[in-house]
Amino acid sequence: MEDLGWDELDVLFVSGDAYVDHPAFGVALLARFLFSHGFRVGILPQPDWRRGDAFRVMGRPRLFGAVSAGAMDSMVNHYTAARKLRHNDAYTPGGQAGARPNRAVIAYTAALKSAYKGLPVVIGGIEASLRRLAHYDYWSDKVRRSVLADAKADMLIYGMAETSLLELARRCAAGSRPAQILDLPASAVMVSQAPAGTVELPSYETVCQDASAFNDAFMRAAAEADPYRGRRVAQHHGERWVLVNPPALPLDQQQLDALYALPFSRLPHPGYTDPIPAFEQIRYSITSHRGCFGGCAFCAIASHQGKTIQSRSEASILAEAARMAESEGFRGTITDVGGPSANMYGAHCGNAEARRNCRRQGCLFPEPCKHLVAEDKAIAAMLKKIGALPNVRHVFVASGVRLDLLEQQPAYSRQLLERHISGLLKVAPETLSGKVAKIMRKPGPAIFLRFLHGFRLFNREQGRRQAIVPYLIAGHPGCTLGDMVDTALFLKENGLRVEQVQEFTPTPGTLATCMYHTGIDPETGRSVHVARGDRERRLQKALLLWHLPEQRTSIMHALQSCGRLDAADRLLGKGVDKRRQISASASARRHGKKSGQNRKSE
């Protein structure tokens, strides 16, 4: 501030992440963006929320404070799907846990308002975005109020925020206060009365008590979360209303290119001495686009980034790759060129009128939309040009790919397999059960099987040793132990071994979380099975790890629980002693219970 001749800031950002001046880190990108438009900005990364002086180091900002929990919801960052405390944080120097509070948006807002009486505070980022209305909170197992109400913030901005935040800063500089601005796209404020023409959702008090009302509120809000045809929604909270405006329009290519042309150092703040794991992972990667039209039930990307794919130009991506190749420490490998799904780059709706009137939550399920234009040759050509740059030896695609879209992209598909896999290709079928795939809003196992056969044939013909890493989810709503037995059999019969299994974590704002809370698919009205206990989730996970000897006892118990002991020979091999495995499991449980009783007595 002294070097720049600033006596005060216009906007003070508070972030739950370490400060890395890289476009993959949202707060750094927004700060660079506002600075490029003439605003004086500062960043407080991971301040100690228990100390007021930690928030005063750069003084009171002139316009407002801007609070984000960071790149992850702080509760997801802190706890596993089993609600056990994590012992690391990839967005903190040294990977150390504990640098941010639980429910960081609420804690940081309280600390900032305490440090500067009367300062307007605006909240944003993934944690605030997905909690903008009454929502089910997995960690407290109850419906919570909008985070705007709990944090007592003046405004919430959801989504990627660039245009809305810039407009807010301009209006505040002209004399407005955030809480008084009712028409800013992608914003939410508390009001005493819902304006005329607003879509009224079932109240917070009602959705707490009534599952059908919760589903109704979710579906109504989702229907209006469209930048082209969405309307304002309002939800009663006590004596006030949470008023949410429709999303901001997607950035066009020129706007997106301008963001990535900003002079990022692409490095952590020089004050850090320990490495930041999240930075090390993306240091030599390139974001080619944002948004996702997959429409998966468990995913919040579209809720935050939007359904519309916003792609950078080839020139912009090549320029970033060239700068990266000339940077200190670069060793010739660009680790990723992609986005939420790498092969969505350049995809778009080929019918402008259809896009304006579209009511689909995704463009691929249950069948690919007839208006979807799947880009193919341009992305393949771009990857070749990146690989031809000086100092670049390898260009890999580490982001996941959508197999149902890849079937429409023969040129990209072949080039991906030939040049851009570092031995392993990540794909995310998430399930190999046709029934569960429909609930997830994912393609069924047939598409995955076709790709697997084609992938293996290509490798045999080319003499290559490459493998597929399928990502699968255990415990997703609608998935029973029987469904997971079928999935495990599919894996074994097709020679696949899963290294990592993601346990479903209900996160605010997703369709799958709505199902988890209510036990009903809100789109169909049908009941869905929900694996609520740790035991069933553990057994589902064990089935996916069928190849690990240490999982055999759990697998046998899973087979017994769902009446599928007939599958034991196919899954574990002939000759397995079913009675012995189950007996060992029962003995272990009895021993554990007895030990627990002894500890309680002591």
Check whether 292 is labelled as a binding-site residue: yes
By DSSP bridging, strand 424-430 and strand 394-395 are unpaired
> How far is it, in rounded angstroms, from Cα 153 to Cα 163?
20
Phi, psi of 91 (to 5 degrees): -100, 15
* Distance (Å) of CA 234 to CA 200, 207, 323: 5, 14, 46
Tokens of 149: 């109400």
Tokens of 457: 């044939």
> How far is it, in rounded angstroms, from Cα 48 to Cα 201?
37
> How far is it, in rounded angstroms, from Cα 419 to Cα 395?
8
> How far is it, in rounded angstroms, from Cα 125 to Cα 80?
21
Q: Tokens 């039930």 sit at which residue?
A: 297
User: Which sign, positive or negative, has the C-alpha torsion 302, 305, 310, 314?
Assistant: negative
Question: Cα 271–272–278 angle (5° rounding)?
Answer: 140
C-alpha of 566 from chain center? 39
Check whether 358 is labelled as a binding-site residue: no
DSSP E strand boundaries for 55-146: 64-68, 121-124, 135-137, 142-144
Name the nearest CA neighbour of 379 among 349, 426, 423, 413.
413
Name the nearest CA neighbour of 402 among 279, 291, 521, 488.
291
Tokens of 79: 């706890």
CB 339 within 8 A of CB 287: yes
Tokens of 452: 């697997």
Check whether 349 is labelled as a binding-site residue: no
Tokens of 347: 């995809």
- 330-361: b or e for each residue (b if 16 or more CB lie within 10 Å)? eeeebbbbbbbbbbbbbbbbeeeeebeebeeb
Binding site as annotated, residues: 292, 296, 299
Binding site as annotated, residues for [4Fe-4S] cluster: 292, 296, 299
